[in-house]
Structure 1
């Protein structure tokens, strides 16, 4: 599978990443999925300390045992978990440096390739947060750091003030918000984008119509239920090298030069194999890309 350089780092990540949040809590099943992913060329695994109250990191740790040198391991920090399962935002230097130790223990490793801030607001102590990540780099606990955010004003501050190598953000044919000002800005600053949600909760998959009936009754972002149905109908009528809607949607998310990897979550080996097949589809031409854009909305961010 094609590997892309993550920003200005020495990390080369597979263009399809494995989102580990969907692995579930069955360790044997998770191991099977992770092993198959690695065998198929996926080297980028993404988790977070928040998922399943830390259990997801522990399952990932068990699943990568003996395979650590084959993967780029990414996790996230910043959400303070309470014993009752609730959480609050806590991006302080002290908290980040405390929590990385717990993540390392759960992941059963002595370093994290990419440590990401799991959110962020413009009112955060941003310089203090950056100091925490820089300290961890100096200590050798993490190799690089990034941010997972969809807030343009927050991302811009990290672009100006930090040495982030990546930004994880939601991006799909139905959520084109990053196109307005983020993708070009990040490309110009040699910061990579890692996308999530390329299939829009399944509403851009090969089962889109069924998913929309189940999940899209109240609409999705700026799209009404009827608009979702109309858009998918139009997308399915476009013949792009005989590709399925899933393949077209994933290739769309990967088209911009800023995007290094599209992270997709799976809960079975079958789903994983289908996603891997998608990445073998022909890349979109610029004409294809523009045609797809003409069918969907160029929506904008409302929260900064």
Structure 2
């Protein structure tokens, strides 16, 4: 599988990454999915301390221990679980991040994290302090590089200007084109990679189409709009290939995007996603047609 450079780092990640949140807590099943990902040549695995109260990190770390030097492990911090695990609070403080990384390292069973990401963020955070925490962790050798997971243009702009982030993880798909107007060009200009999540729009951008639709629609698409747009995409763009292929290739067509992180709850899904990423890139005409059929939605909120 093809690899792309992550920002200005020396990390080269596969065009398809495995989003580990959907692996579940059954270790045997999760290991089978991770092994299938490795078989497909995937080297980029994305988890977070938030997933399953840290159990996800434990499962991922254990399953990748035998190939640790050959894979890139990304995890995230910033969400502090309440003592009774009834929910979490946001804590981007330096003290908490430096405590959280040690817990993640222990759960992952590794001496270092390849990519450590802030799991969210607002414009009211102590951003300078947060950056200082990441820079210190890098200098101390606990992490190799850092990034943020955010869809907020104002927050992303602050980190672009003030920090040495190598990547931004954000939701992006044919049905969620909000990053296209301001965020993707900004990051491409500064050599910062975009790692996308949600490329299949909760399963809408697969050949199952409206099976995954809900009455309230998706983002600013009503159910009625989806019932027109999805079949049109299938009929006019995904004529000789799956809609999954079209969806993943649409993400990879943007010059700012380095890797598409897709979740998988089965080995079959991993195989399908890997085949989609290996398929033919979209033509300029196909991309133009997709943009004609869908909305050029923008960020009204999330500032």
Asked if 2 retains the 8 angstrom alpha-carbon contact of 1:38 and 1:70, the reply is no
CA shift at 1:91, angstroms? 0.1
| Number of equivalenced pairs | 301
Equivalent position SS for 1:64: helix
1:60-119 per-position Cα deviation (integer Å, ceiling 9, x unaligned): 111112111121100000001112221010000000000000000000000000000000
Partner of 2:69: 69
Partner of 1:211: 212
Equivalent position SS for 2:17: strand
Partner of 1:83: 83
Matched, 1:17 2:25: no
Partner of 2:113: 112
Equivalent position SS for 1:94: helix
Aligned partners of 2:110 and 2:284: how far apart in 1? 42
After TM superposition, the score normalised by the length of structure 1 is: 0.97
Asked if 1 retains the 8 angstrom alpha-carbon contact of 2:237 and 2:286, the reply is no
Matched, 1:101 2:102: yes
Partner of 2:48: 48
CA shift at 1:243, angstroms? 1.5
1:247-296 per-position Cα deviation (integer Å, ceiling 9, x unaligned): 10111011101000000000111111111111121001122111101000
CA shift at 1:240, angstroms? 5.1
After TM superposition, the score normalised by the length of structure 2 is: 0.98
The equivalent position to 1:302 in structure 2, one of 297, 300, 303, is: 300
Q: Show the 5 A alignment for 1:48-197.
A: 48-85=48-85, 86-197=87-198
Aligned partners of 2:194 and 2:278: how far apart in 1? 20
Q: Show the 5 A alignment for 1:195-274.
A: 195-212=196-213, 216-239=214-237, 242-274=240-272
Structure 2 unaligned residues grouped into runs of 5+: none
The equivalent position to 2:291 in structure 1, one of 277, 290, 293, is: 293
Asked if 1 retains the 8 angstrom alpha-carbon contact of 2:237 and 2:289, the reply is no
Aligned partners of 1:302 and 1:30: how far apart in 2? 37
Aligned partners of 2:207 and 2:47: how far apart in 1? 26
- Structure 2 vs 1, CA of residues 100 and 230 (structure 1 numbering), >3 Å: closer, same or farther? same
Report the RMSD for the aligned CA atoms in angstroms.
0.9
Asked if 2 retains the 8 angstrom alpha-carbon contact of 1:241 and 1:282, the reply is no
Asked if 2 retains the 8 angstrom alpha-carbon contact of 1:203 and 1:209, the reply is yes
